[in-house]
Structure 1
Amino acid sequence: MSPPAPGRRRAGRGGSRGTRTGPTTRRERPVPHPPSAAPPPPTGAAALPERPAPSVELHVRTGAAGWEAGGHAGTAARTGPPAALVLARSAASLRRPDARGEDQLWESAHWTSPLCPLAAPATELVVSWNADVPRGCWLRVEVLATRSDGRRTPWLPLADWAATDEDIAPASAAPTGDDVVTADTDTLAVRAAAAARGLRITALRLRLTLCRRPGSTAVPAVRRLAVAAAALPERETVPPSPPGPASGVELSVPPLSQYAHEGRYPHYNGGGAAWCSPTSLRMVLAAHGRHPDRAALAWVEPGHEDPDVCHAARRTYDHRWGGCGNWPFNTAHAAVHRGMNAVVTRLESLTAAEGLIGAELPLITSQSFEESELPGAGYATAGHLMVVSGFTADGDVVAHDPAGRSRAAVRRVYPRRAFETVWLRTRRTRADGSVGTGSGGVCYVLWPEEADARQRRALAAVGVR
């Protein structure tokens, strides 16, 4: 059975897919100021950062007590297991096209969070969620930000999401915002000009709207809602971190190559050559022993290698943006698997990543670089995701990079200093001398419900619960 054709894809958002330019599913943010000078190569002598490390806060709402707080209009806190915010009764209705593009009326209920002040004013927010959304249901995520000048944004839509594409076409909202703050795809950010004037986000509220078909008794449930807030400095270099206790630790992660799917299902982000994010996701889920039900793979053409990756690409596809690299869509899909949890967050160094590796929790990192900046990669990319699966005895990074052309080429060792730079920086100089951006330490953190005490301590150390 073939999958339904997705909605129209926006051109120019998926990046280059050639061998030299590498696999890309991410886009770059506008850069407010050109750098005063090109940075030293990341493999050279350690250099001090141009600005301090980013201030990262992860605010997580979970548990019955967490969901009881805030304003309810048809929603309720379920004590569990698992504890969740659920649609208890229809409180309103709204119209939205269904997966076929036909106008559809939906029952809805919504929850509004209490005001969440930020300890450190932020320039960027990423919202992620874990939800159980049965057929016939979907959810909408919105944010309202308080600015440092005392004004508030309007409610800004971030996404309409469902676990499948059979009821709606899951999609991020079209770019929107005010004169200071903009919401685009998976990120809420202070505009470059406003950030240069010192404006920041100081607090926020979130609104979840839970929807289902009229007359349905299905119950969508949100188990976790997370906001990663960061004040991102403009820096091309980052301080080096010394090898830590995870040196010499390498986790068992099944290698998967996105290029095994090159040319397949091109209506999903151009096909497998651009599927770095879902391929990385499948590697980590497999390491945790999580796989989709065989029935869910019935649409994949028989004989395709690793059909789980095709499935993940379809389920993470953002029908508005036209890519499979929407960060929250990936963690939301991970959390659909039995007993799995996932958030998008930022880490401040490889030392933090070592804490997770030492607890047997591989993570997925987002980075961009020129070919010469990451020795051993063999490609350049404006945005790419890969799995950090361990560290050598010398502290270099063992990565499961889905850009490997075969399974045997997926496992890589990248120099610690180079990897830390291309992952943590927020600004970079491209080969042509123009200025690009970096993710500032973005990563997906996945963990099983049966996580042991050591793993929960490691998660708590990076603010995850």
Structure 2
Amino acid sequence: MRSAHAPRTRRTLRSTRALTCAAVLTATGIAGTGTGAAAAPGTSPAPATARTVPAGAAPTAGERVTFHKWTTQADFQAGTAAGVTALAGDRQGIAISSTVGSTRYKDPYLHTTKTYAFSTWTSPSYTPGFGATELVSSWDAQTPAGTWLEVELNATMEDGHQTGWLDMGDWASGDTDIDRTSTSPSAGVYGQVDTDTFNAAAGHSIQAYQLRATLYRLPTSTASPRLWQLGAFASAVPARTGVTPSPLGGAEGTELAVPRYSQQIHVGQYNQYGGGGDAWCSPTSSEMIAEYWGDGPSAADLAWVDPSYADPSVDYAARSTYDYAYRGTGNWPFNAAYAAHYGLDAEIVQLPSVDALETLVKAGIPVAISVAFDNGELTGSGYGTAGHLMVVVGFTATGDFIVDDPFSPSDAAVRHVYQRGQLENIWLRTYWTRTDGTTGSGSGGVAYVYKPHDLALPPVADPNNPTW
């Protein structure tokens, strides 16, 4: 239990991730990464605690990935509650019933120190059934004024030792109570949280894990955060420079009518949230999907945006996903939480194949994918990137990807058709060797999946992914 005496101080260090979202590469090499631009987490060069990359490794099989969530009243009743109640009814989640302690929170960005009362919910231990080397949590919640929440991970490693509780994110839907921030704590010899991803150190693996949510509110308030889904993907993806090309999956000829927004028309807007342009691929992708489902900010929400700016909802999404420690908008679970605060079911997942992606698109669900590549690897893109998000909206009759790529000069230019084999390989690989001999890091299939609650997810036909 947290002490009521020790203040919690946010660190102001940058993440170890490269801070670039879609830094353009010239035909001969890197032209520059840009200052303050945000990399999509998991796609920048891997830190020392990430998966190892054996020299000359060939594409390998044996990927294991699972997504597990707690979302029903029975799920929450199965956990350990301290001052929270599992609310009756579908998708109601948990809320504070009585606080069990207090803490002083010193915010280095708002320059405030406030006392908050809190309650906690701790999940049962979940065993993925294999030794996972990577874990990313995500949550669906709402935080009224004067409230916020924290999500933590406690992993049981292969030798039976636990990492202890590791902060996976301090989050509020607004930015007037706390700075929305990651903290990137270390688990010593077992690994490291890098912004939003726990990477097991070489030779170590996650055998089981628990998640803990702490709900905070001002002591004088009766408001409460409401958390209706808490989950994580855990995976063990072998180091691979490529994958075997997939057969067509049945989504050929499908194209979803997703709104098209360019991040590039926002260059120089709101430097305090990353400054638009290269930095805003993730919130631009999230906003396109949210508006596809008929959600998004209201006129009142947008009142602060300069009226001369086109597509003000993108500015709003950037502000609402900005991670003050990471100094960017590319924090994966913060993007999911942004979509979820409108009421959407939002999950960060690691899909095992293009077949799984096509299954979702066939069901009418657009998917944002995390990619990294050199200039010239993705025909028609015209750039290279250390980390980028784009939205898969369909497939051509021959199976090529139809993508809303926000790294485009205008909204009208956002729609792209990318070759199936190229984009599949780029999305699913874990690393590649650049022409200058350095190593680039890929996401291994990370994706944003947002949908209305009443739309069931289709089964994803993959034996390694039985729970998602």
TM-score (norm 2): 0.89
Contact 1:121 1:201 in 2 (8 A): yes
Contact 1:427 1:436 survives alignment (8 Å): yes
For the 8 Å contact 1:370–1:431, the answer to whether it is kept is: no
Counterpart mapping for 1:69-88 below 5 A: 69-88=78-97
Letter paired with 1:367 = V
2:186 and 2:193 in contact (8 A); partners too: yes
CA distance in 2, matches of 1:8, 1:268: 15
> Which of 6, 17, 25 is the equivalent residue of 2:39?
25
Aligned to 1:89: 98
Contact 2:263–2:276, Cα closer than 8 Å, also in 1: no
CA distance in 2, matches of 1:205, 1:34: 28
Kindly indicate whether residue 128 of structure 2 is the aligned counterpart of residue 118 of structure 1: yes
Partner-residue secondary structure (3-state), 1:379: coil
Q: Choose which of 130, 137, 147 in structure 1 pairs with 2:147.
A: 137
**Is 1:307 aligned to 2:317, yes or no?**
no
- Measure the CA separation in 2 of the matches of 1:303 and 1:373: 36
Distance change in 2, residues 1:135/1:316 (3 Å): same
User: Which of residues 225, 230, 236 is equivalent to 1:225?
Assistant: 230
Partner residue, 1:369 = 373
Q: Which runs of 5+ in 2 are unaligned?
A: 1-9
What is the deviation of 1:34? 5.2
Tell me the CA shift for residue 273 of structure 1. 2.5
Residues 24 and 419 of structure 1: CA distance in aligned 2, closer, same or farther (over 3 Å): farther
Aligned pairs for 1:389-408 within 5 A: 389-408=393-412
AA at the equivalent of 1:52 = A
Q: Which residue of 1 aligns with 2:360?
A: 356
| Aligned residue number for residue 113 of structure 2 | 103
- On the 8 A contact 2:251/2:361 being kept in 1, the answer is yes
CA distance in structure 2 between the partners assigned to 1:464 and 1:259 by the alignment: 38
Separation in structure 2 between the aligned mates of residue 426 and residue 250 of structure 1, nearest angstrom: 28
Structure 1 residues 81 and 319, CA gap change in structure 2 (3 angstroms)? same
Write the deviation string for residues 299-319 of structure 1: whole angstroms up to 9, x where unpaired. Answer: 111121000000000000001
Is residue 62–residue 223 contact of structure 1 (8 Å, CA) maintained in 2? Answer: yes
Q: How many residues get paired?
A: 441
Aligned partners of 1:127 and 1:227 also within 8 Å: yes
Do the aligned partners of 1:369 and 1:422 also contact (CA within 8 Å) in 2?
yes
Residue among 55, 69, 73 paired with 1:36: 55
Tell me how far 1:440 sits from its aligned partner: 0.7
Q: Deviations over 1:183-214 (max 9, x none)?
A: 121001112xx2xx3x2110011111100001
Q: Is the 8 A contact 2:51 2:199 kept in 1?
A: no
- What secondary structure is seen at the aligned counterpart in 2 of 1:121? coil
Could you tell me how far apart the structure 2 residues matched to 1:116 and 1:188 are? 16
1:128–1:431 Cα change, 3 Å: same
Instruction: State the Cα deviation string for residues 318-347 of structure 1 (Å, max 9, x = none).
Output: 01111100000000000011x311000011
Counterpart residue identity of residue 352, structure 1: A
Q: Which amino acid aligns with 1:391?
A: F
CA distance in 1: counterparts of 2:128 and 2:419, whole angstroms: 35
Deviation at 1:411, TM superposition (A): 0.6
Q: CA deviation at 1:449?
A: 2.1
1:457 and 2:458 are equivalent in the alignment? yes
Matched ranges for 1:66-465 at <5 A: 66-98=75-107, 100-191=110-201, 194=202, 197=203, 199-337=204-342, 339-451=343-455, 455-458=456-459
1:230 and 1:389, CA in 2 relative to 1: closer, same or farther beyond 3 A?
same
Q: What are the Cα deviations for residues 151-201 of structure 1, in whole angstroms up to 9, with x where unaligned?
A: 11111111110011110001011332120121121001112xx2xx3x211
Structure 1 vs Structure 2: percent identity of aligned residues? 42
2:347, 2:448 within 8 Å by CA — same for their partners in 1?
Answer: yes
Quote the Cα distance in structure 2 between the aligned partners of 1:69 and 1:25. Answer: 37
Task: Tell me the secondary structure at the aligned position of residue 319 of structure 1.
Answer: coil
- The Cα offsets for residues 376-406 of structure 1, whole Å up to 9 and x where unpaired, read as 1110100000000000000010010000111
Cα distance in 2, alignment partners of residues 328 and 16 from structure 1? 16
Residue 3 of structure 2 corresponds to none
Give the counterpart letter for 2:347 in structure 1.
Answer: V
Q: In 2, are the aligned partners of 1:63 and 1:79 still within 8 Å (CA)? A: no
Do the aligned residues in 1 keep the contact of 2:186 with 2:192 (CA within 8 Å)? Answer: yes
Give per-residue Cα distances to partners, 1:248-298, cap 9 Å, x unaligned: 111111111000101111121243331000001111111111121111111
Determine helix, strand or coil for the equivalent of 1:355: helix
- Contact 1:280–1:364 at 8 Å: present in 2 too? yes
| Secondary structure, aligned partner of 2:251 | coil
Cα deviation, residue 463, structure 1: 6.2
* Secondary structure of residue in 1 paired with 2:272: coil
SS in 1 for 2:168: strand
Distance across 2 between alignment mates of 1:309 and 1:328 = 17
Alpha-carbon distance between aligned partners in 2 of 1:73 and 1:428, rounded to the nearest angstrom: 46
Distance 1:132 1:321, change over 3 A: same
TM-score, scaled to structure 1: 0.90
User: Unaligned stretches of 5+ in structure 1?
Assistant: 1-5, 39-48
Separation in 2, partners of 1:155, 1:8: 20
Counterpart Cα distance in 1 of 2:257 and 2:21: 31
